[in-house]
Amino acid sequence: MKMTFRWYGSQMDPIPLRYIKQIPNMSGVVSSLMDMPAGALWPTERIQALKQEVNDAGLELEVIESVNVHEDIKLGLPGRDEYIDNYCKTIERLGQAGVKVICYNFMPVFDWTRSDLFKPRADGATVLAYDQAVIDKITDPQDFADRIQQGAGEFEMAGWEPERMAEIKHLFAQYQSVSHEDLFRNLRYFLEAVIPVCERYDVKMAIHPDDPPWDIFGLPRICTNRDNVTRILSLVDSPCNGLTLCSGSMGSNPCNDIPAMVREFGSRGRIHFGHVRNIKFTGPGQFEEAAHFSADGSLDLYEIMKAYYDIGFEGYIRPDHGRMIWDEQGRAGYGLYDRALGVAYLSGLWEAIQKDHR
Protein backbone atom coordinates (compact mmCIF):
# COMPACT_ATOMS: atom_id res chain seq x y z
CA MET A 1 0.00 0.00 0.00
CA LYS A 2 1.31 3.44 -0.96
CA MET A 3 0.02 6.43 0.98
CA THR A 4 -0.52 9.57 -1.10
CA PHE A 5 -1.87 13.09 -0.63
CA ARG A 6 -3.97 15.26 -2.95
CA TRP A 7 -2.07 18.34 -4.10
CA TYR A 8 -3.38 20.91 -6.60
CA GLY A 9 -0.04 22.29 -7.80
CA SER A 10 2.10 25.18 -6.63
CA GLN A 11 -0.03 27.79 -8.42
CA MET A 12 -3.32 26.69 -6.83
CA ASP A 13 -2.49 24.90 -3.59
CA PRO A 14 -1.33 26.84 -0.51
CA ILE A 15 0.20 23.69 0.98
CA PRO A 16 3.94 23.43 0.19
CA LEU A 17 5.24 20.06 -0.94
CA ARG A 18 7.76 20.14 1.91
CA TYR A 19 4.88 20.04 4.40
CA ILE A 20 3.42 16.98 2.69
CA LYS A 21 6.83 15.31 2.69
CA GLN A 22 6.95 15.71 6.48
CA ILE A 23 3.79 13.62 6.99
CA PRO A 24 4.92 10.14 8.09
CA ASN A 25 4.45 7.25 5.66
CA MET A 26 3.95 9.57 2.68
CA SER A 27 5.11 8.17 -0.66
CA GLY A 28 3.81 10.74 -3.11
CA VAL A 29 1.18 13.20 -4.21
CA VAL A 30 -1.84 12.89 -6.45
CA SER A 31 -1.97 15.90 -8.74
CA SER A 32 -3.11 17.25 -12.09
CA LEU A 33 -2.76 20.13 -14.52
CA MET A 34 -5.73 21.92 -13.04
CA ASP A 35 -6.02 24.61 -15.70
CA MET A 36 -6.23 22.19 -18.62
CA PRO A 37 -9.79 22.12 -20.00
CA ALA A 38 -11.55 18.82 -20.56
CA GLY A 39 -10.62 17.40 -23.94
CA ALA A 40 -7.31 19.26 -24.27
CA LEU A 41 -4.03 17.52 -25.06
CA TRP A 42 -1.65 17.82 -22.12
CA PRO A 43 1.73 19.29 -23.13
CA THR A 44 4.70 17.00 -22.51
CA GLU A 45 6.80 19.82 -21.07
CA ARG A 46 4.17 20.66 -18.45
CA ILE A 47 3.80 17.03 -17.43
CA GLN A 48 7.55 16.75 -17.05
CA ALA A 49 7.77 20.02 -15.11
CA LEU A 50 5.10 18.85 -12.65
CA LYS A 51 6.85 15.52 -12.21
CA GLN A 52 10.22 17.23 -11.66
CA GLU A 53 8.78 19.61 -9.06
CA VAL A 54 7.24 16.73 -7.11
CA ASN A 55 10.34 14.54 -7.39
CA ASP A 56 12.58 17.40 -6.26
CA ALA A 57 10.56 17.46 -3.03
CA GLY A 58 11.34 13.78 -2.48
CA LEU A 59 7.88 12.56 -3.49
CA GLU A 60 6.48 10.39 -6.28
CA LEU A 61 3.98 11.41 -8.95
CA GLU A 62 2.39 8.12 -9.98
CA VAL A 63 -1.30 9.03 -9.80
CA ILE A 64 -3.09 11.77 -11.76
CA GLU A 65 -6.49 12.99 -10.63
CA SER A 66 -7.97 13.88 -13.01
CA VAL A 67 -7.73 13.92 -16.79
CA ASN A 68 -11.26 15.20 -17.23
CA VAL A 69 -13.55 13.59 -19.81
CA HIS A 70 -15.16 16.06 -22.24
CA GLU A 71 -18.96 16.27 -22.19
CA ASP A 72 -19.11 15.40 -25.91
CA ILE A 73 -17.72 11.96 -24.99
CA LYS A 74 -20.33 11.44 -22.27
CA LEU A 75 -23.08 12.65 -24.60
CA GLY A 76 -21.85 10.55 -27.52
CA LEU A 77 -21.69 13.54 -29.87
CA PRO A 78 -19.90 13.45 -33.24
CA GLY A 79 -17.03 15.57 -31.93
CA ARG A 80 -16.05 13.01 -29.30
CA ASP A 81 -13.42 11.26 -31.44
CA GLU A 82 -11.19 14.34 -31.47
CA TYR A 83 -11.33 14.57 -27.67
CA ILE A 84 -10.76 10.83 -27.27
CA ASP A 85 -7.71 11.10 -29.53
CA ASN A 86 -6.33 13.84 -27.27
CA TYR A 87 -7.08 11.66 -24.25
CA CYS A 88 -5.15 8.76 -25.77
CA LYS A 89 -2.15 10.96 -26.52
CA THR A 90 -2.27 12.36 -22.98
CA ILE A 91 -2.26 8.81 -21.58
CA GLU A 92 0.80 8.07 -23.70
CA ARG A 93 2.63 11.12 -22.38
CA LEU A 94 1.68 10.42 -18.78
CA GLY A 95 2.79 6.81 -19.10
CA GLN A 96 6.14 7.92 -20.49
CA ALA A 97 6.49 10.19 -17.44
CA GLY A 98 5.99 7.26 -15.06
CA VAL A 99 2.33 7.79 -14.16
CA LYS A 100 0.68 4.50 -13.22
CA VAL A 101 -2.95 5.45 -12.50
CA ILE A 102 -5.41 7.99 -13.90
CA CYS A 103 -8.44 8.68 -11.72
CA TYR A 104 -11.39 9.98 -13.75
CA ASN A 105 -15.15 10.15 -13.54
CA PHE A 106 -18.07 9.88 -15.95
CA MET A 107 -20.56 12.12 -14.13
CA PRO A 108 -22.71 14.28 -16.42
CA VAL A 109 -22.10 18.03 -16.03
CA PHE A 110 -21.16 18.04 -12.33
CA ASP A 111 -18.42 16.39 -10.35
CA TRP A 112 -18.92 15.97 -6.59
CA THR A 113 -21.78 18.06 -5.27
CA ARG A 114 -22.42 19.53 -1.82
CA SER A 115 -25.15 21.83 -0.49
CA ASP A 116 -22.91 23.32 2.23
CA LEU A 117 -19.17 23.90 2.07
CA PHE A 118 -18.62 25.01 5.65
CA LYS A 119 -21.25 23.42 7.87
CA PRO A 120 -20.28 24.22 11.48
CA ARG A 121 -19.84 21.45 14.01
CA ALA A 122 -20.16 21.68 17.76
CA ASP A 123 -16.38 21.45 18.17
CA GLY A 124 -15.79 24.51 15.98
CA ALA A 125 -14.69 22.62 12.88
CA THR A 126 -16.51 23.01 9.56
CA VAL A 127 -17.32 20.24 7.12
CA LEU A 128 -18.71 19.60 3.67
CA ALA A 129 -22.35 18.52 3.84
CA TYR A 130 -25.12 17.36 1.52
CA ASP A 131 -28.89 17.72 1.86
CA GLN A 132 -31.02 16.34 -0.95
CA ALA A 133 -33.92 18.60 0.08
CA VAL A 134 -31.78 21.65 -0.71
CA ILE A 135 -30.74 20.23 -4.08
CA ASP A 136 -34.36 19.39 -4.92
CA LYS A 137 -35.28 23.07 -4.67
CA ILE A 138 -33.31 23.68 -7.87
CA THR A 139 -35.80 23.21 -10.70
CA ASP A 140 -34.60 25.78 -13.25
CA PRO A 141 -31.03 25.26 -14.53
CA GLN A 142 -30.79 28.80 -15.85
CA ASP A 143 -31.84 30.26 -12.50
CA PHE A 144 -29.31 27.96 -10.85
CA ALA A 145 -26.55 29.17 -13.19
CA ASP A 146 -27.48 32.79 -12.52
CA ARG A 147 -27.32 32.26 -8.76
CA ILE A 148 -23.85 30.71 -9.00
CA GLN A 149 -22.60 33.50 -11.27
CA GLN A 150 -23.92 36.09 -8.82
CA GLY A 151 -21.93 34.49 -6.02
CA ALA A 152 -24.83 33.03 -4.08
CA GLY A 153 -22.39 30.57 -2.53
CA GLU A 154 -25.07 28.01 -1.66
CA PHE A 155 -23.69 25.10 -3.63
CA GLU A 156 -20.38 23.46 -4.48
CA MET A 157 -20.13 22.25 -8.04
CA ALA A 158 -16.59 20.94 -8.23
CA GLY A 159 -14.75 22.12 -11.32
CA TRP A 160 -17.46 24.62 -12.26
CA GLU A 161 -16.21 28.15 -11.80
CA PRO A 162 -18.89 30.88 -12.03
CA GLU A 163 -17.93 31.86 -15.58
CA ARG A 164 -18.50 28.27 -16.75
CA MET A 165 -21.99 28.13 -15.30
CA ALA A 166 -23.25 29.89 -18.43
CA GLU A 167 -22.93 26.49 -20.14
CA ILE A 168 -25.37 24.83 -17.75
CA LYS A 169 -28.63 25.52 -19.56
CA HIS A 170 -27.25 24.21 -22.85
CA LEU A 171 -25.83 21.09 -21.21
CA PHE A 172 -29.05 20.33 -19.37
CA ALA A 173 -30.91 20.53 -22.67
CA GLN A 174 -28.42 18.12 -24.28
CA TYR A 175 -28.80 15.60 -21.47
CA GLN A 176 -32.60 15.60 -21.54
CA SER A 177 -32.63 12.70 -23.98
CA VAL A 178 -29.65 10.82 -22.46
CA SER A 179 -30.54 7.70 -20.46
CA HIS A 180 -28.49 5.52 -18.14
CA GLU A 181 -28.11 3.04 -21.00
CA ASP A 182 -26.80 5.81 -23.23
CA LEU A 183 -24.18 6.68 -20.63
CA PHE A 184 -23.07 3.05 -20.33
CA ARG A 185 -22.85 2.83 -24.12
CA ASN A 186 -20.82 6.04 -24.36
CA LEU A 187 -18.50 4.91 -21.57
CA ARG A 188 -17.91 1.65 -23.42
CA TYR A 189 -17.03 3.59 -26.59
CA PHE A 190 -14.55 5.69 -24.59
CA LEU A 191 -12.96 2.72 -22.82
CA GLU A 192 -12.64 0.68 -26.01
CA ALA A 193 -10.50 3.50 -27.39
CA VAL A 194 -8.35 4.33 -24.37
CA ILE A 195 -7.72 0.96 -22.70
CA PRO A 196 -5.48 -0.41 -25.49
CA VAL A 197 -3.31 2.71 -25.08
CA CYS A 198 -3.25 2.12 -21.32
CA GLU A 199 -2.11 -1.46 -21.86
CA ARG A 200 0.66 -0.26 -24.16
CA TYR A 201 2.00 2.31 -21.69
CA ASP A 202 1.23 0.50 -18.41
CA VAL A 203 -1.32 3.04 -17.20
CA LYS A 204 -4.47 2.01 -15.32
CA MET A 205 -7.76 3.89 -15.63
CA ALA A 206 -9.62 4.08 -12.31
CA ILE A 207 -13.19 5.39 -12.47
CA HIS A 208 -14.36 7.37 -9.44
CA PRO A 209 -17.86 6.70 -8.10
CA ASP A 210 -20.56 9.30 -8.59
CA ASP A 211 -20.78 11.61 -5.62
CA PRO A 212 -23.41 11.32 -4.26
CA PRO A 213 -24.15 7.93 -5.86
CA TRP A 214 -27.60 8.69 -7.22
CA ASP A 215 -29.16 10.83 -9.96
CA ILE A 216 -29.20 14.57 -9.24
CA PHE A 217 -30.88 17.45 -11.11
CA GLY A 218 -32.53 14.82 -13.30
CA LEU A 219 -29.14 13.81 -14.70
CA PRO A 220 -28.35 10.09 -14.97
CA ARG A 221 -25.48 8.62 -12.98
CA ILE A 222 -24.08 5.15 -13.52
CA CYS A 223 -21.21 4.50 -11.06
CA THR A 224 -23.41 4.21 -7.99
CA ASN A 225 -23.36 0.67 -6.58
CA ARG A 226 -21.83 -2.80 -6.73
CA ASP A 227 -23.86 -3.96 -9.73
CA ASN A 228 -23.01 -0.88 -11.79
CA VAL A 229 -19.31 -1.20 -10.96
CA THR A 230 -19.43 -4.85 -12.06
CA ARG A 231 -20.98 -3.77 -15.34
CA ILE A 232 -18.45 -0.96 -15.88
CA LEU A 233 -15.50 -3.28 -15.32
CA SER A 234 -16.99 -5.75 -17.82
CA LEU A 235 -17.40 -3.13 -20.56
CA VAL A 236 -13.74 -3.73 -21.42
CA ASP A 237 -12.42 -6.70 -19.49
CA SER A 238 -8.86 -5.56 -18.89
CA PRO A 239 -6.81 -5.03 -15.71
CA CYS A 240 -6.33 -1.47 -16.97
CA ASN A 241 -10.07 -0.83 -16.64
CA GLY A 242 -10.39 -0.38 -12.90
CA LEU A 243 -11.87 1.50 -10.00
CA THR A 244 -11.08 4.32 -7.63
CA LEU A 245 -13.04 3.12 -4.62
CA CYS A 246 -14.02 6.21 -2.66
CA SER A 247 -15.47 5.13 0.67
CA GLY A 248 -17.14 8.49 1.24
CA SER A 249 -18.73 8.76 -2.20
CA MET A 250 -19.95 5.19 -2.55
CA GLY A 251 -20.58 4.94 1.19
CA SER A 252 -22.94 7.92 1.25
CA ASN A 253 -25.58 5.42 0.16
CA PRO A 254 -25.92 3.18 3.25
CA CYS A 255 -26.90 0.27 1.00
CA ASN A 256 -23.33 0.08 -0.32
CA ASP A 257 -21.08 -2.24 1.70
CA ILE A 258 -17.60 -0.78 1.27
CA PRO A 259 -15.52 -3.58 2.89
CA ALA A 260 -17.37 -6.13 0.76
CA MET A 261 -16.68 -4.09 -2.38
CA VAL A 262 -12.99 -3.85 -1.46
CA ARG A 263 -12.81 -7.60 -1.14
CA GLU A 264 -14.79 -8.35 -4.31
CA PHE A 265 -13.14 -5.94 -6.71
CA GLY A 266 -9.76 -5.75 -5.00
CA SER A 267 -9.27 -9.51 -5.02
CA ARG A 268 -9.73 -9.34 -8.80
CA GLY A 269 -7.03 -6.67 -9.07
CA ARG A 270 -9.47 -4.03 -10.25
CA ILE A 271 -9.10 -1.43 -7.47
CA HIS A 272 -6.16 0.77 -8.41
CA PHE A 273 -6.76 3.68 -6.06
CA GLY A 274 -8.52 4.04 -2.72
CA HIS A 275 -9.99 7.26 -1.34
CA VAL A 276 -10.54 6.51 2.33
CA ARG A 277 -12.66 8.94 4.32
CA ASN A 278 -15.61 8.96 6.68
CA ILE A 279 -19.09 10.44 6.56
CA LYS A 280 -21.91 10.75 9.04
CA PHE A 281 -25.51 10.07 8.01
CA THR A 282 -27.77 12.83 9.31
CA GLY A 283 -31.07 11.85 7.68
CA PRO A 284 -32.54 10.44 4.45
CA GLY A 285 -30.50 11.87 1.59
CA GLN A 286 -28.39 13.80 4.10
CA PHE A 287 -24.79 13.36 5.21
CA GLU A 288 -21.86 15.40 6.39
CA GLU A 289 -18.18 14.60 6.22
CA ALA A 290 -16.47 13.52 9.42
CA ALA A 291 -13.03 12.93 10.85
CA HIS A 292 -11.39 9.75 9.58
CA PHE A 293 -11.65 8.27 13.09
CA SER A 294 -14.31 5.56 12.86
CA ALA A 295 -16.24 6.68 15.94
CA ASP A 296 -16.71 10.16 14.45
CA GLY A 297 -18.72 8.94 11.48
CA SER A 298 -20.98 6.20 10.18
CA LEU A 299 -18.37 4.14 8.33
CA ASP A 300 -16.02 1.64 9.98
CA LEU A 301 -12.61 2.57 8.61
CA TYR A 302 -10.96 -0.26 10.52
CA GLU A 303 -13.02 -2.78 8.55
CA ILE A 304 -12.31 -0.93 5.31
CA MET A 305 -8.54 -0.91 5.90
CA LYS A 306 -8.65 -4.54 7.05
CA ALA A 307 -10.36 -5.46 3.79
CA TYR A 308 -7.56 -3.76 1.84
CA TYR A 309 -5.00 -5.66 3.91
CA ASP A 310 -6.78 -8.98 3.51
CA ILE A 311 -6.73 -8.75 -0.29
CA GLY A 312 -3.02 -7.84 -0.31
CA PHE A 313 -3.63 -4.36 -1.71
CA GLU A 314 -0.47 -2.86 -3.21
CA GLY A 315 -2.03 0.18 -4.89
CA TYR A 316 -2.46 3.78 -3.84
CA ILE A 317 -4.50 5.16 -0.96
CA ARG A 318 -5.12 8.72 0.11
CA PRO A 319 -7.10 10.37 2.86
CA ASP A 320 -9.93 12.17 1.18
CA HIS A 321 -11.85 15.29 2.19
CA GLY A 322 -11.09 16.48 5.69
CA ARG A 323 -12.65 18.87 8.17
CA MET A 324 -11.39 22.44 8.34
CA ILE A 325 -9.87 22.62 11.82
CA TRP A 326 -7.61 24.87 13.90
CA ASP A 327 -8.82 27.97 12.01
CA GLU A 328 -7.18 26.82 8.78
CA GLN A 329 -8.28 28.74 5.69
CA GLY A 330 -8.30 27.36 2.16
CA ARG A 331 -10.07 25.05 -0.23
CA ALA A 332 -13.04 23.50 1.56
CA GLY A 333 -12.34 19.88 2.43
CA TYR A 334 -8.70 20.07 1.37
CA GLY A 335 -6.91 21.61 4.32
CA LEU A 336 -3.58 20.23 5.49
CA TYR A 337 -4.30 19.57 9.15
CA ASP A 338 -7.21 17.15 9.17
CA ARG A 339 -6.00 15.24 6.14
CA ALA A 340 -2.60 14.84 7.80
CA LEU A 341 -4.40 13.48 10.86
CA GLY A 342 -6.22 11.17 8.46
CA VAL A 343 -2.91 9.83 7.12
CA ALA A 344 -1.74 9.17 10.67
CA TYR A 345 -4.97 7.37 11.53
CA LEU A 346 -5.03 5.22 8.40
CA SER A 347 -1.33 4.39 8.73
CA GLY A 348 -1.86 3.45 12.37
CA LEU A 349 -4.72 1.15 11.45
CA TRP A 350 -2.59 -0.48 8.75
CA GLU A 351 0.32 -1.07 11.14
CA ALA A 352 -1.96 -2.55 13.80
CA ILE A 353 -3.65 -4.85 11.27
CA GLN A 354 -0.25 -5.98 9.98
CA LYS A 355 0.95 -6.85 13.48
CA ASP A 356 -2.27 -8.66 14.32
CA HIS A 357 -1.71 -10.94 11.32
CA ARG A 358 1.89 -11.86 11.98
Q: Which active-site residues does the annotation give?
A: 208, 246, 275, 320-321, 334
3-state class (DSSP) for residue 299: coil
Query: What is d(CA 167, CA 146) in angstroms, rounded to the nearest whole number?
Result: 11
Contact, 3 vs 27, CB < 8 A?
Answer: yes
3-state class (DSSP) for residue 20: helix
Any idea what DSSP says for residue 162? G
DSSP string spanning 167-224? GHHHHHHHHTT--HHHHHHHHHHHHHHHHHHHHHHT-EEEEPPPSSSS-BTTB-----
Contact, 123 vs 132, CB < 8 A?
Answer: no
Query: What is d(CA 149, CA 162) in angstroms, rounded to the nearest whole number?
Result: 5
Closest by CA to 186, choosing from 74, 336, 335, 334, is: 74
Contact, 280 vs 321, CB < 8 A?
Answer: no
Question: Looking at the chain, which runs of residues are DSSP E strands?
Answer: 2-6, 28-31, 60-65, 101-104, 113-114, 116-120, 126-131, 156-157, 204-207, 241-246, 271-276, 278-283, 286-290, 316-319
- Residue 74 burial (CB < 10 Å; 0-12/13-18/19+)? buried
Query: What is d(CA 33, CA 140) in angstroms, rounded to the nearest whole number?
Result: 32
Query: What is d(CA 337, CA 345) in angstroms, rounded to the nearest whole number?
Result: 12
